[in-house]
Every structure is written in C-alpha cells, then in structure tokens.
A = this chain, B = another copy of it.
C-alpha cells in the first residue's frame, strides 16, 4: 500500500458520528456507539494516525462537549472525536429540509412529480445546508492544518459542498467524498433548481476522488457533470476535468464486519428476542424484513405482495408469518410519517382479511430494537429486501451472515447490493407486486440443497469484500495521481 510509511493523518467528516452521549435515567452519562461495520472500519482508519472524526452533536451531552476534540476509548479502539454544535433551526433546515426532504428524495426518485416537490422555502433551507457544510469545513481545515499528510474522508449527501469549500481553504489537500446513497441521473437531478445543481456538483468536484456504491450511480454522476458548464467528462475512464484538476470517480461497494456482527448476535438479549420470536411464530415459517420505516424501502409493496400470495395460494395461509421489523426514521417529516401510517394501515387491513385464531399473517413492529433485528436475521426462512432504490442495502449482507435456517434472500435488482449478491438471490423488480409474490413462493419452496448453496454463495461474496477493504481502497486512491 503506497504511502503507509508517511505519517498520514486521517480526518473523517460525517453528519452522524461514531458515538453519541446521552444522560441515562439515573443521571450518569452513557456512550452509545453507532452500530455496524462502517463505524468499526472508519474508526480503525483514524486510530493511531493522530486524526479524528468530526460530526454533528446529536444530544445535549454531545453539545456540551462540542468545539474541541476529545478522546474516545471503545474496547480496543481509541480515537478522537470533535462535535459541531449547530443551532436547532439551522440543523433542521440542513437535515430535515434539504438532506432528507430534498436530496434523499432526488437520489432515490421518490417524488410524485405531477404534484411534488413544490419547493416552498428551499432557498432558506439551502442557506442552512450551506452553513452547516461551512461549519464542517472550518473544523476540518483547522484540524487538518496546512500539512500535506492529512487525508480528508468526507461522508455522504449531507456534506456535498464540503470538498470545494475545503479545496478553497486548503488548495493542496487530498480529499475524498463517498456517497452512501444512489446518485440521480440528469433528468431527475434536474428537478433541483439550477443554482443548487451547480453548487452541489461543483461542491463534490472539489474532491480528488468521488466514491459511489455501484457503477450505475457513478455513471449517473458523470452524466450529471456533462450538464455542468466548464466540466469535461470521460465516462469510460471515470474522470471529470474541472478547474484544471482531474477528479476521479470510483466505485467502492461498502460492506459489513461479519466478525463484529457475530459477536453482537451472541448477546443474551438476542437470545431472548429469538425465543420470543419463535413463540410468536408458533411453528409457522418466517418471512422477514428489517428496515428503517422509510419511503425508499418499499415496505408497502412488500405487504401487498404477501397479500397477493395469500390470496392466490390459500395453502400458504398459516404456513408462513411475515415479520416486518421496522425502526422509526425521520418521523418529524410529514412524507415519512404518512408513508409509515400507510404501511401500518395496510398490515392491519391484511391481518383483518386473512387472520385466523392462532395465526396473525403480519407481525409489524415499529421500534428501535437491534437485538430483535439480529434475532430475525438468525431465524428467517426468507428475507425480503425489495427497496425501490438503494445505494447498497446492508440488510442483504448482514442477514445471510447470521442466518441459521438456510434462509433465502429476495433482492431488488435496483439495490446497489445486487451487483455483488444478485447471482445468489431470488431477484425481484421492486415495482412488480405479482412478481414479488411469486418470488416469495419460489423462495419458500426452494429445495434444501439449493438453499444451502445460495446461502454459502452469499456469505462468500460478503467475506470476499470486507469493510476494511472499502476504507483502504479509498485511502490508496488518494495517494495515486495527485495533481
């Protein structure tokens, strides 16, 4: 790996940090570490480099620590964090107003275009988005200093303006930005006002390397850059010439930390959740979904597909129970709340229609309960991952690692994960409710040898591309080329 002999410092910027502090019921402060492999991988990259992780303060306790760096010890990991305290109205415009009501929608194609968006107050919210990006940039520039050895890893759609702002403050900096979500093609991207599009593309192009989860999103970004005056795009080589620099557009499919996940799944609360789930299932086979309650996840069509299956194949009734394990997400925003309510309403309607004594067709829960999610991974016979559109979808990687029943994965062709896992999954077009119903039937009926073979294939694919590689590849690419 080139450059590892340098005293390289890694600075990470992301809206949500690796850890958050909350005051417990008895008054003492509790550290809540972010779940999943991403935190492990990125803190691993920071650790020992003298770098740090910069994030928005999420709680009152975080806020009290804001403005200066402090050290964190989690098990064997030790790294530094610096929180930014953003005032609540600014944060609301940045997070709810732009990030989750506008950018999330544009990159996942979620609008009912004849009717929405209508962009009331967009310019005001955009000012707030810009000022949070500025706050991150100031902190990065300050922590990074003028040293050539600093490497900036900027994360996701919340911080698209940071690379160009940081480039102005630190012209020779080595900057990467990674989009954890999809990127819209030029038509859908054109829903944004022209000034916002230009600012965002120019913002990203401040980086040296732009990372995406899948080739399709990288191509979309490049096609959007063709509409930017002054940018020269080489689609085949993944290059944008911009302000006398070459910006490289690369694909780094994110992954998980299988070992860490297995350790988490060995916890006693997972065993308890598992026992409870088995009791509830009462011998029925388990169709499972695990998702944030969110519009891109396609929860509604999943329920309708299950209904179509029960309707067309009465023998399936009582045979299978659908565990829809949902965690609340962005429920302050009306669009998310409305969608969640529609999902709950559909589940209730289907339960009224098909439920019988001793068998409730759908068990929909809506709460943060990570232990129960892990139990559901262990127990599923069929795992339904049918997003409308998804940058990657880590459920499709986590489930197979923990599953103990040779469970079958049903996976949307439109999830980033399909590139790596599609060959071992039952593919679905997420818009095709009848097709999804058939896929559930196929998965339930699949013979044991085939189920086992596929589960092995999924696990191999996940292990072949561990999360550490995702970080390393980006750091390596930051060393290559230069200007």
Contacts and interface: CB of A to CB of B under 8 A. Distances in A.
Contacts of A188: 109, 185, 187-188
A184 interface: yes
Interface in A182-241: 182, 184-188, 190-194, 216, 219-220, 223, 226, 235
Contacts of A187: 109, 182, 184-185, 188, 216, 220, 389, 414
Number of this chain's copies in the complex: 2
A432 interface: yes
Interface string A109-127: 1111111011110100000
A339 interface: yes
A56 interface: no
A29 to B, nearest CB: 39
Contact of A235 (B235, B295, B342): B235
Nearest to A117: B431
Interface centre among A192, A389, A432 (most CB of B within 10 A): A432
Contacts of A108: 113
A296 interface: yes
B110 A113 contact: yes
A435 interface: yes
Interface size band for A:
35 or more
B235 A120 contact: no
A245 to B, nearest CB: 22
A435 B193 contact: yes
A191 B109 CA distance: 11
A344 interface: no
Contacts of A280: none
B118 A301 contact: yes
A433 interface: yes
Interface in A151-180: none
A187 B295 CA distance: 17
A220 B296 CA distance: 23
A315 B120 CA distance: 22
A336 to B, nearest CB: 10
B114 A185 contact: no
B296 A114 contact: yes
A434 interface: yes
A52 interface: no
A184 B117 CA distance: 19
Interface in A379-434: 388-389, 413-414, 429, 431-434
Interface centre among A185, A187, A220, A339 (most CB of B within 10 A): A187
Interface of A: 108-115, 117-120, 122, 182, 184-188, 190-194, 216, 219-220, 223, 226, 235, 295-296, 298, 300-301, 304, 339, 342, 388-389, 413-414, 429, 431-435
The 4 closest A-B pairs by CB, nearest first: A112-B112, A185-B185, A114-B295, A118-B433
